[in-house]
Amino acid sequence: MPFLKKVIFWGLLALGMYVLLSYHFIYFGGLDIKVLKKSTLTLKYTFFSAKGRKPGKIISIDNLREDGIADLLLDIGEINEAQRDGFMARYETEEDEDY
């Protein structure tokens, strides 16, 4: 029985690490926490507080923008479609200029 407990413990630990590597947990204040799937396994911006931050500053973070933070902000009503398109166009042109 002790072997089974060890297997379950290590399995749950591995599952927890996989979840931390796979998702952003974004805090908007109060009990409002949204989950956003990451495009690659990483610990960058796993826990992020958007409380009190302007949408433009949030979208300026490459990791979050690439994973769809603009669409999340649109869904919760922080920005409208025109603002999202404007922010995304700004960063697409900056990325094009880097090449």
Return the pLDDT at 87.
Answer: 92
Contacts of 36 (CB under 8 A, 6+ apart): 23, 24, 26, 64, 67, 68, 69, 72
* Full-model pTM: 0.82
Return the pLDDT at 91.
Answer: 86
Q: What is the pLDDT along the chain (99 residues), one digit of tens a residue?
A: 799 999 999 999 999 999 999 999 999 988 999 999 999 999 999 999 999 999 999 999 999 999 999 999 999 999 999 999 999 999 887 665 555
Q: Which domain holds residue 70?
A: 2-97
The b-or-e profile of 69-90 (16+ CB within 10 A means b, else e) is bbebbbeeebbeeebbeebeee
Return the pLDDT at 32.
Answer: 92
Q: How many domains does the chain have?
A: 1
Amino acid 86 reads G
